[in-house]
């Protein structure tokens, strides 16, 4: 069937997490929906998420888990379609899942279970999904105001006057969406094009360009939930530690994150670093506590000076951290092969700073190529949080990561995509 001749109730750009839930929600209530997706298949980021097991939500979700210029913006959507609502969908589809640390929910088998569940829901409705369809541009006819059902009052034999219009209609706005192989029209348009991270999974800047075209501001965007790159001087010290992991606390911009860190060939990665990257700004420092279980390191070292006096300091240090890291930190502090007893007061203080407050200014994050998400996006100032509709252009909606709402690590970004997609799907019903 030639879909281009059809006027859709809603066109959704992007068949990612937000777009799919939006389509399910609108389709479920009778809307004729079209999803346009440039990838050859839907939901590539869903498949890649959670290391292939999709950390699809968290047991505890609130606005405190998100970063945005408007921290309360996400609250309504998160309450309208809660984590428990999505968990109900997952349970109804008999998808097995488990809880990992910090309340993260993962599929037991594969992320594909989540994608299949959403696509199955779509199949039951009046939703058309067109893949391999790259949206190039959108034009918008705002519709005209129209007065109907006029009461005509006879003033005299020849003059009629319009009185008491009974209702004022607005002609529906029409969005004309041009793709690389066709043109489609709709009464509502949902922009669910995601962020800039992982271009190989389909990211594009189309959502931001369209937002600006329609008068919306776009905040500065940074790669986030990513590793960080060491400055050259540190790379020399740490590159041989690539693959070493440990539990640590990473602090930046006054926020601390406890969790795993991993040395890479170029810098640091792992959950605690990912979370810190969400708050890190270029040229600011990042500090790592390599031994969080040892609260008072100086005291601990003094104790070892008594009990392990003759042992090499670096061997003793490896009791509380991986041996390679202990060796490297001892080398930087100038401890070398000294025994614990021979470490001077001054050197012990230096070692303590390296262990507990290892501070450096990353050159950058690992960048959009590797980041899980984009911090920043379409400013929420002119978006109605109850519906995700633009307050500038009627019938225009935004959902998911394209907006300036970014979650910390733990299933929060997908939950935002589900919640905002759902609310946008309901919102489009206002313009039947």
Ligand X SMILES: Cc1cc2nc3c(=O)[nH]c(=O)nc-3n(C[C@H](O)[C@H](O)[C@H](O)COP(=O)(O)OP(=O)(O)OC[C@H]3O[C@@H](n4cnc5c(N)ncnc54)[C@H](O)[C@@H]3O)c2cc1C
Residues in contact with ligand X by the rule CB under 6 A: 13-19, 36-39, 44-45, 48-50, 54-55, 134-135, 192-194, 197-198, 201-202, 204, 206, 372-373, 400-402, 411-414, 417
- Tallying the residues shown for the chain, one arrives at 432
Per-position DSSP letters for 225-247, written without gaps between them: S--EEPPHHHHHHHGGGTT-EEE
CB-wise, 36 or 250, nearer to ligand X? 36
List the one residue out of 83, 15, 192, 91 whose CA is nearest residue 410.
83
List the one residue out of 116, 110, 128, 130 whose CA is nearest residue 43.
116
CB of 90 to ligand X, least distance (A): 14
Gyration radius (Cα) of the chain, Å: 28
CB of 140 to ligand X, least distance (A): 17
CA contacts within 13 A on the Cβ side of 312: 12
CB of 14 to ligand X, least distance (A): 3
- Distance CA(126)–CA(223), nearest Å, equals 36
Count the Cβ atoms, other than its own, within 10 Å of residue 169.
13
CB of 110 to ligand X, least distance (A): 12
CB-wise, 173 or 400, nearer to ligand X? 400
Q: What is the dihedral of CA 343, 287, 297, 234, to 10 degrees?
A: -30
CB-wise, 22 or 329, nearer to ligand X? 22
CB-wise, 59 or 332, nearer to ligand X? 59
- Distance CA(357)–CA(195), nearest Å, equals 33
CB of 114 to ligand X, least distance (A): 10
CB of 353 to ligand X, least distance (A): 35
Query: How far lies 216's CA from each of 41, 108, 172, 401, in Å?
Result: 29, 40, 21, 16
- Chain residue whose CB lies nearest ligand X: 16
CB-wise, 135 or 351, nearer to ligand X? 135
């Amino acid at each position: 069937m030639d879909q281009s001749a059809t006027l859709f109730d809603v066109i959704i750009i992007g068949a990612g997490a937000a777009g799919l839930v939006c389509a399910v929600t609108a389709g479920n209530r009778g809307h004729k929906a079209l999803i346009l997706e440039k990838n050859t298949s839907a939901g590539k980021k869903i498949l890649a998420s959670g290391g292939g097991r999709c950390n699809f939500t968290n047991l505890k979700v609130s606005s405190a888990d998100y970063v945005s210029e408007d921290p309360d913006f996400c609250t309504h959507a998160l309450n309208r379609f809660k984590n428990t609502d999505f968990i109900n969908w997952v349970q109804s589809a008999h998808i097995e899942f488990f809880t990992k640390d910090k309340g993260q929910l993962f599929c037991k088998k594969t992320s594909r279970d989540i994608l299949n569940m959403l696509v199955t829901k779509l199949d039951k409705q009046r939703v058309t999904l067109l893949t391999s369809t790259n949206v190039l541009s959108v034009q918008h006819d705002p519709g005209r105001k129209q007065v109907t059902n006029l009461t005509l009052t006879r003033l005299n034999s020849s003059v009629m006057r319009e009185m008491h219009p009974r209702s004022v209609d607005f002609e529906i706005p029409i969005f004309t969406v041009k793709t690389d192989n066709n043109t489609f029209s709709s009464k509502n348009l949902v922009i669910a094009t995601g962020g800039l991270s992982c271009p190989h999974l389909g990211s594009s800047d189309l959502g931001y360009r369209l937002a600006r075209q329609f008068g919306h501001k776009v905040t500065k965007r940074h790669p986030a939930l990513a590793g960080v790159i060491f400055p050259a001087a540190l790379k020399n010290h740490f590159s041989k530690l690539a693959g070493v992991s440990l539990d640590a606390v990473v602090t930046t911009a006054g926020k601390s994150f406890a969790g795993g860190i991993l040395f890479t060939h170029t810098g640091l990665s792992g959950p605690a670093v990912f979370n810190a990257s969400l708050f890190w700004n270029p040229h600011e420092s990042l500090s790592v506590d390599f031994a969080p279980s040892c609260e008072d390191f100086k005291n601990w070292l003094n104790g070892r000076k008594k009990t392990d006096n003759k042992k090499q300091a670096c061997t003793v240090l490896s009791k509380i951290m991986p041996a390679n890291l202990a060796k490297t930190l001892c080398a930087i502090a100038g401890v070398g092969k000294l025994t614990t007893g021979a470490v001077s007061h001054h050197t012990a203080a230096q070692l303590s700073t390296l262990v507990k407050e290892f501070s450096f200014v990353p050159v950058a994050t690992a960048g959009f190529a590797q980041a899980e998400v984009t911090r920043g996006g379409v400013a929420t100032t002119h978006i109605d949080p109850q519906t995700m509709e633009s307050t500038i252009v009627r019938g225009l909606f935004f959902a998911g990561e394209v907006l300036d709402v970014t979650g910390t690590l733990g299933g929060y970004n997908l939950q935002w995509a589900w919640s905002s997609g759902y609310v946008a799907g309901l919102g489009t019903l206002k313009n039947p």
